[in-house]
Amino acid sequence: MRVIVIGAGLGGLCLAHGLRRAGVDVAVYERDVSASARAQGHRLHIDERGRDALSATLPPNLFRLIAAVAGRPAPKINGFDPQLRATGIFALDDSESESTTGGLMPAHTVIDRHVLRRVLLSGLDDVVHFGRRYVGYDSEADTVTARFADGGIARGTVLVGADGVGSVIRAQRLPHASVVDSQVRLIYGRVPLTADLRGALPPAMLSSVFNSVVGPGNRFLGIAPVRYRVPPATAANRLAPELAFPPIGDTLAVMFGRRLDRLGLSDSQLRAASGRRLRDRVLEQLAGWHPLITGVVEGWTPESVYPITVRSSVPIPPWPTSNVTLLGDAIHAMSPAAGAGANTALRDAARLAAALSETSTGRPLLDAIRDYEREMIDEGFRMVRLSAASGTRILAADPLPDESSSRALE
Ligand SMILES: Cc1cc2nc3c(=O)[nH]c(=O)nc-3n(C[C@H](O)[C@H](O)[C@H](O)COP(=O)(O)OP(=O)(O)OC[C@H]3O[C@@H](n4cnc5c(N)ncnc54)[C@H](O)[C@@H]3O)c2cc1C
């Protein structure tokens, strides 16, 4: 069996590791010319689903590396009002803490996205092909042929769309599956966590997974500490010497969110604006908020600031299985409001790797894919609905359109 994966994002890379570990032939094709070609967010909260998926798929030294560097905040989300008065604490479930990893990694950790992606790329030089933009596929009896913009092709037994929210594979495989714009825009930036800032901010803010500040008019500011347990360069030196990390300091990842029609900038203005202009616009939106909050945004490094359109998949009923399948954002993109997209993509990847490797013991391929898809559809669309509801409640995001056609899933 040969598996062709489109997209070297978190899900595609995790799948590639899982298949390699199971001895299955795999090739990954990525449109970006390199791993650092595009900003992809600043930090990720890895929960027990992501942790268990990484533990099941990665070579042990790479999993140990992630466990060593990932920050270990208290499993809670703090709520604040714009004057920095506490409005509540949401405790995250950590009952499955340390179940599958022999105590290596707790249920809730935080990691820099670039660090995670670099670790995931490690050892896959001969598997990942950068600069290959996929454009379509052709199915023949037991094989599928992927076509690329450069005129090249790749032939395999299975084709996996791990190509993110704008998935070209989904458009061909499930043309009725749509993605909607929630009308919320995020402006995302990061600020170095200096000793001064550390001393000024409430200690609870620095020791939790996430801090949510909600103000009038559905204005939202998320403040997320990214603190390394061990510097990535030190841990890599010990566990994966082939990975050379530059010195990386602790930071705060900070995101401002609001409906586009209340932001006072159009999409084209957002895209064209410099980091400084975006930062100034956010500061205007935060006028009158506590100086510590506005001070954090003032500290944004301009080159780290960029806008994001929050989009969501619309759940659809299960479809007939074939040897072309999907994972992660390609099929169930969700608002980041519940911080679940990456964890769900990683879980899909681990489940699909396990399902495909069962075919080596004689399991029919389509049975294995069908079982994977059943769980993936169920859990993925459940998280889509949950994330959309959070986005509507907190940010006045457009609710998901009527999905009466998807009742079969309930
Ligand atoms: C601001 C923000 C914060 C977030 N925070 C969290 C969090 O804390 N926790 C969490 O669990 N999730 C979080 N998420 C969600 C998470 O980032 C995504 O759900 C996750 O990256 C999905 O992984 P994926 O592999 O499916 O897709 P992606 O990571 O998007 O990867 C898709 C890959 O496919 C490639 N590709 C696309 N089209 C083609 C093509 N035609 N040919 C070849 N390659 C192609 C892309 O270049 C990309 O590399 C956040 C998202 C955002 C926007």
pLDDT > 90 fraction of the chain, expressed in percent and rounded: 89
Question: Which atom number of ligand 1 is nearest to the Cα of residue 8?
Answer: 49
Going from the Cα of 40 to the center of ligand 1, the distance in angstroms, rounded, reads 7
Question: Which atom number of ligand 1 is nearest to the Cα of residue 342?
Answer: 11
Helices (H), 201-313: 203-207, 232-239, 260-263, 267-272, 275-285, 291-298
Taking only the tens place, the pLDDT of each residue in 332-366 is: 999 998 889 999 999 999 999 999 999 999 999 99
Going from the Cα of 165 to the center of ligand 1, the distance in angstroms, rounded, reads 7
pLDDT at 91: 86
Unique residue bearing structure tokens 């995250």: 92
Going from the Cα of 12 to the center of ligand 1, the distance in angstroms, rounded, reads 10
Taking only the tens place, the pLDDT of each residue in 313-335 is: 999 999 999 999 999 999 999 99
Q: Check: CB of residue 298 under 8 Å from CB of residue 256.
A: no
pLDDT at 406: 46
- Assess whether pLDDT exceeds 80 at residue 36: no
What mean pLDDT do residues 93-114 have?
A: 81
- What's the pLDDT band for 409 if we cut at 50, 70, 90? very low
Q: List, by residue range, all CATH 3.30.9 domains of the chain.
A: 182-310
Closest CA to 120 of 47, 160, 66, 51: 66
Using a 6 Å cutoff on CB, does residue 7 contact ligand 1? Answer: yes
Probe ligand 1: pick from 117, 163, 169, 304, max atoms within 8 Å of CB?
Answer: 163
Going from the Cα of 162 to the center of ligand 1, the distance in angstroms, rounded, reads 9
- What's the pLDDT band for 408 if we cut at 50, 70, 90? very low
Question: Which atom number of ligand 1 is nearest to the Cα of residue 9?
Answer: 31
List, in order, residues 6 or more apart from 378 with CB less than 8 Å away.
Answer: 409
Closest CA to 354 of 14, 6, 4: 14
pLDDT at 35: 81
Using a 6 Å cutoff on CB, does residue 372 contact ligand 1? Answer: no
Q: List, by residue range, all CATH 3.50.50.60 domains of the chain.
A: 2-72+108-181+311-409
Going from the Cα of 290 to the center of ligand 1, the distance in angstroms, rounded, reads 33
Unique residue bearing structure tokens 């602790």: 250
Query: Cα separations (Å) of 50 from 116, 181, 343, 347, 379?
Result: 12, 26, 4, 6, 14
Taking only the tens place, the pLDDT of each residue in 243-286 is: 989 888 999 999 999 999 999 999 999 999 999 999 999 999 99
Return the structure tokens found at 126: 């001969």
Using a 6 Å cutoff on CB, does residue 162 contact ligand 1? Answer: yes
pTM of the model: 0.95
Computed over every residue of the chain, the mean pLDDT equals 93
- What's the pLDDT band for 410 if we cut at 50, 70, 90? very low
pLDDT at 30: 98
Using a 6 Å cutoff on CB, does residue 8 contact ligand 1? Answer: yes
Cα 171 to Cα 331: distance, rounded to the nearest angstrom: 10
State which amino acid sits at residue 229. R
Q: Is the dihedral of CA 253, 258, 259, 261 positive or negative?
A: negative
In order, the DSSP letters of 168-198 are HHHHHH-TT--EEEEEEEEEEEEEE--HHHH
- Assess whether pLDDT exceeds 90 at residue 130: yes
**2-72+108-181+311-409 is classed in which CATH architecture?**
3-Layer(bba) Sandwich (3.50)
Going from the Cα of 30 to the center of ligand 1, the distance in angstroms, rounded, reads 12
Taking only the tens place, the pLDDT of each residue in 86-101 is: 999 998 887 765 566 7
What mean pLDDT do residues 194-215 have?
A: 95
Which strands form 158-161's sheet, in the order they lie side by side?
A: 128-129, 25-29, 2-6, 158-161, 324-326
Using a 6 Å cutoff on CB, does residue 160 contact ligand 1? Answer: no
Using a 6 Å cutoff on CB, does residue 164 contact ligand 1? Answer: yes
Question: Coil, strand, or helix at residue 56?
Answer: helix
| CATH number for the domain whose boundaries are 182-310 | 3.30.9
Cα 403 to Cα 383: distance, rounded to the nearest angstrom: 15
